[in-house]
Structure 1
Amino acid sequence: MKLNHLLDENSIAGKFIGELRDTGVQTDRMRFRRNIERVGEILGYELSKTLNFSAEKIKTPLGHSELQIPQDEVVICSILRAGLPLHNGLLNYFDDAENSFISAYRHHPNQDEHFEIVVEYLASPSLEGKTLILADPMMATGGSFVNVMKALEKMGKPKKVHLVSVIAAREGIEKVAKEFPEDSTLWVGTIDEELDERGYIVPGLGDAGDLCYGGKLQH
């Protein structure tokens, strides 16, 4: 699996990710969602450079212009609910993409630190021969991406798979590298080295879903 780390180079993305982490800023839910969306736009722009292009002639008011236009059939699949702002950022750039949504959450069967990733809801077009972009802002253990990809198998085999996250833990990167095809590509804003005993990213930013949309009742 190829890894692309956005903050390997200095850019405005560092400001957006810094505000996502900052406890003094992240309580503004609208700004938090918008910053995830912004990082999604930047990651989507970088990802777009790897697509397949062909020349098309465009008619202008004064003549014609030949441009290289992407040809891939793109499907963006976001993991609910935290993935929605990231989905919007990607969709701002891949505005003609098809869309897929899936739920994945941590279930603690014994009410302790052990958890399993449960996938329930799925709405998706066919993925056969298409370019699939899986989006989840936080990749901790990598279990959500792995279980979601298994759930999507019945929708067809994609031509290419891209994983997109704002923050990824090193352990999660290693897991998806083992579980996904070698020609898959992982796009991350930044990388954190640790998980705590509950499997949350350190330093991370907290619960992205709650910060986007408010707290939830556990079941």
Structure 2
Amino acid sequence: MHIHHISKTASILNTFLSEIRDETIQKDSMRFRRNIERIGEILGYEMSKSFEFKSEDITTPLANLKTQLPKEDVVLCSILRAGVPLHNGLLNYFDTAENAFISAYRHHKNNPESFEIIVEYLACPSLENKTLVLADPMLATGQSMLATFEALKPFGKPKNIHLVSVIGAQQGVDFVSQHFETDTHLWIADIDNTLNNKGYIIPGLGDAGDLAFGEKLQH
């Protein structure tokens, strides 16, 4: 897998990352959503550099010129509900992308420290020979990303696969590296070292879905 750890190079991205992590700032849910969206825009811009481009002619009011435009047929798929602001950020840059949405959540049985990933809702166009972008802001164990990809397989075989996350744990990064094809790309803003015994990223930022949209009732 090709891993692109974007914050390793200092940029304005660090500002948005610090604000979504800071417990005094992240309480503003509108600002939290907007920062996730802006991070999605940055990750989308970096991802676009890996796309194939084609030469096209355009006409300005004064002359004709040749330019290079992306030739990828992109499908953006986000994991509900936390993935919505990240999805919006990517969609801001890929205007003509098709869209898919899937629900994947942790179902805890008797032990709060163990869980399985449940997929319930899925809406998706054909993925055959297209560029699939899977967006999930928190790459903790990596199981949600893999479960999502498995659920999408009946919709066709993508030409290219890109995973997009805001913050990941090294364990989750290692997991997807082992379970996705070697030519898959992971675009991630930052990588933390550890998970706690409940599978949350440390230091992380907490629950991205709750911070963006409010607390939820548990299953």
Normalising by the residue count of structure 2, what TM-score does the alignment of the two structures yield? 0.99
Give the letter for the 2:186 counterpart: L
Give runs of ≥4 in structure 1 deviating > 2 Å.
Answer: none
Q: TM-score scaled by structure 1?
A: 0.99
Distance 2:2 2:125 in 1: 26
Aligned partner of 1:216 in structure 2 is 216
Q: How does 1:1-219 map to 2 (within 5 A)?
A: 1-219=1-219
Shift of 1:62: 1.1
- 2:101 match: secondary structure: strand
User: What is the alpha-carbon distance in structure 1 between the residues aligned to residue 191 and residue 157 of structure 2?
Assistant: 29
State, as a whole percentage, how many aligned pairs show the same letter: 60
Distance across 2 between alignment mates of 1:150 and 1:89: 24
Task: Report the Cα distance in structure 1 between the residues aligned to 2:19 and 2:98, rounded to whole angstroms.
Answer: 30
Q: Residues 29-78 of structure 1, C-alpha deviation per residue, up to 9 Å, x if partnerless?
A: 00000000000000000000110101100011111121000000000000
Instruction: Kindly state the Cα deviation for residue 112 of structure 1 after the two structures are TM-superposed.
Output: 2.2
Report the Cα distance in structure 2 between the residues aligned to 1:198 and 1:18, rounded to whole angstroms.
23
Instruction: Give the aligned residue type for 1:107.
Output: H
Give the aligned residue type for 1:144.
Answer: S
Using the TM superposition, give the Cα deviation of residue 86 of structure 1 relative to its aligned residue in structure 2, in angstroms.
0.2
Q: What's the CA shift for 1:111?
A: 4.6
Which stretches in structure 2 are left out of the alignment for 5+ residues?
none
Task: Name the SS for the 1:18 alignment partner.
Answer: helix
Please give the per-residue CA displacement for 1:73-120, whole angstroms capped at 9, x wherever unaligned: 000000000000000000000011000000000000115211111111
Q: Residue 11 of structure 1 aligns to a residue in which SS?
A: coil
